[in-house]
Amino acid sequence: MAQPAVSASPAPYELIEVRPLAGSLGAEILGADLTALSDDLYGEIYRAFVEHQAIVIRDQDLSTDQYLAFARYWGEINIYPFMKGLDTHPEVLEILKTEEDTYAFGNAWHSDGSFNPVPPKATMLYAQELPPAGGDTLFSSGYSSYETLSDGLKQLLAPLKAVYIGESQRKSWDTLKAMQHNTEAAAQVGGVHPIIRTHPDTGRKALFCSSHIVRFDGMSDEESAPLLDYLKAHAIRPEFTCRIRWQPGSLSIWDNRCTQHYAIDDYAGQRRRMHRINIEAEEAPY
């Protein structure tokens, strides 16, 4: 469906309660029943998503069909090509860490699918099984990291593009015994994107810099490394971040066009199972 218009001066929320989680980004959404979704309810959730960049909707009890119905409001669903989805619902990727796994999927700062020619617009993650404590997700704001750069560095970065490749995830995937994956195929995928991108809904600029970058386009790895190392560290300064603590029934949605995230691996020997859906972007980064 067509996405709701986002006003520069939005009206108060009437159908949901929105509680900011941190100064740069993040919000908790209360009072939403996604089993009774309407265009008006979706419009408010989408507005909160654009405004806060990463949101978590609490207290949901959705079947997989209902989860998919909600996701389709957001756009075309991206079928992740490198891991097998659920047998009954291939659009849904199960992110599973068992008691035996020694590495957590997403345990590095990244933006989902940034190594694809057209990265996904949004990611949804719905909690299925959680450890008693731990397994939180950190998010950082590309808006904040861009806006705090010096004017000189902004000018330097404005024309630059970065090369992203799937090979950067290969090591972590190879340690996940419980998930079916194709690391050989992923290693062949790559994208070239602006290091500074413009958000199509807000017009704001964001630093688009994560662990999947290997170099600047037209430069060698060695030439790129000093500036990339600085930008990667700058992008995740604590004041640009928020932390989402998972609870049963939590469904988080984040904007891959202006955020990156990190799955904290602090629950060794315990089980964590999540259902992920990616939403296609309408256009490549610009």
Tens-place pLDDT, residues 16-30: 999 999 999 999 999
In a domain, 12, yes or no: no
In a domain, 175, yes or no: yes
In a domain, 174, yes or no: yes
The catalytic position among 47, 101, 112, 193 is 112
In a domain, 136, yes or no: yes
Proportion of the chain in helix, strand, coil states, percent, rounded to 5:
25, 25, 50
Q: Is 261 among the catalytic positions?
A: yes
Q: Is 272 among the catalytic positions?
A: no
The catalytic position among 181, 212, 272, 276 is 276
In a domain, 11, yes or no: no
- Stretch 213-241: mean pLDDT: 97
Q: Is 255 among the catalytic positions?
A: no
Q: What is the pLDDT of residues 110-126, one digit of tens each?
A: 999 998 889 999 999 99
Q: Is 19 among the catalytic positions?
A: no
Q: Which domain holds residue 157?
A: 17-279
The catalytic position among 47, 181, 261, 275 is 261
Q: Alpha-carbon distance 245 to 77, whole Å?
A: 26
Total tally of structural domains belonging to the chain: 1
In a domain, 10, yes or no: no
Task: Write the CATH number for 22.
Answer: 3.60.130.10
In a domain, 31, yes or no: yes
Residue 173 has pLDDT above 50, yes or no: no
Two structure tokens written together for 103: 């590495």
In a domain, 126, yes or no: yes
pTM of the model: 0.91
Q: What is the Rg, in whole angstroms, of the alpha carbon atoms belonging to the chain?
A: 18
What beta strand segments (E) does 195-250 contain? Answer: 196-198, 205-207, 213-216, 241-244
